[in-house]
A and B are shown apart, each in its own frame.
Chain A
Amino acid sequence: KAGVTQTPRYLIKTRGQQVTLSCSPISGHRSVSWYQQTPGQGLQFLFEYFSETQRNKGNFPGRFSGRQFSNSRSEMNVSTLELGDSALYLCASSLQRESGNEQFFGPGTRLTVL
């Protein structure tokens, strides 16, 4: 079974631009979560989608948004990029929503904001 895939793997943008990242979960997985990883703040939860609906949201500004499609693929968007948005953005998928479901992570998208 193919793992979680994320595209693109690397992105360079400038301040003020917007960016869209894509995540394809493991086949059959319906829950997709997004995390931001930075050296200073570590791994932080952004949001979770299940059956095309955002179920939970972390403590991030409204510039961070996402969506999920009927095939469970998910995208996240960051508008009006700031230097501090430079990070590794990780997507994780799990079979269901209940706690205890293994979350499988993709390799991440490395975003650099100049």
Chain B
Amino acid sequence: QQQVKQSPQSLIVQKGGISIINCAYENTAFDYFPWYQQFPGKGPALLIAIRPDVSEKKEGRFTISFNKSAKQFSLHIMDSQPGDSATYFCAACWANNLFFGTGTRLTVIP
């Protein structure tokens, strides 16, 4: 059973546009929600993370929006660049165990 549901599976965005990736979870024991970026041949790299007592966190062009009552969170990438083309994974953490979404392959067209 997939503990974290992620959508869309793939996303194509024009350079300068906004990329939005959504995730949903069921287990209310999760207490930390990171987003990872993965390039081909590399391990996932932490982008940004949020705790459930915060509704939004912004770091540069990356913003997490968190809705605790709906058990949903999303990643917004502002001013998307071709270098952002990668696979993005949301995750939910409990007891230092990460449960990952299925990933979103983002392509930013120049």
A interface residues (Cβ-Cβ under 8 A, vs B): 4, 31, 33, 35, 42-45, 48, 50, 55-56, 58, 90, 92, 94, 97-108
Contacts and interface: CB of A to CB of B under 8 A. Distances in A.
A47 B48 CA distance: 23
A43 B95 contact: no
Q: Nearest 8 CB-CB pairs, A to B?
A: A105-B43, A43-B100, A99-B32, A100-B32, A99-B93, A97-B96, A99-B31, A105-B44
B31 A100 contact: yes
A33 B41 contact: no
B98 interface: yes
**Main secondary structure on chain A at its contact with chain B?**
strand
Given A99-B31, A100-B31, A102-B46, A45 B41 contact: no
Contacts of A98: 96
B43 A108 contact: yes
A17 B44 CA distance: 28
Contacts of A103: 34, 46, 96, 98
A34 to B, nearest CB: 11
B49 A102 contact: yes
Contact of B96 (A44, A94, A105, A106): A94
B51 A100 contact: yes
7 contacts: A35-B100, A45-B99, A55-B96, A99-B32, A99-B95, A100-B31, A107-B41
Contact of B98 (A35, A55, A97, A108): A35
B49 A90 contact: no
Contact of A56 (B34, B46, B49, B97): B97
B98 A42 contact: no
A96 to B, nearest CB: 8
A48 B31 contact: no
A97 B95 CA distance: 7
B25 interface: no
Interface string B79-107: 00000000001010111111111110000
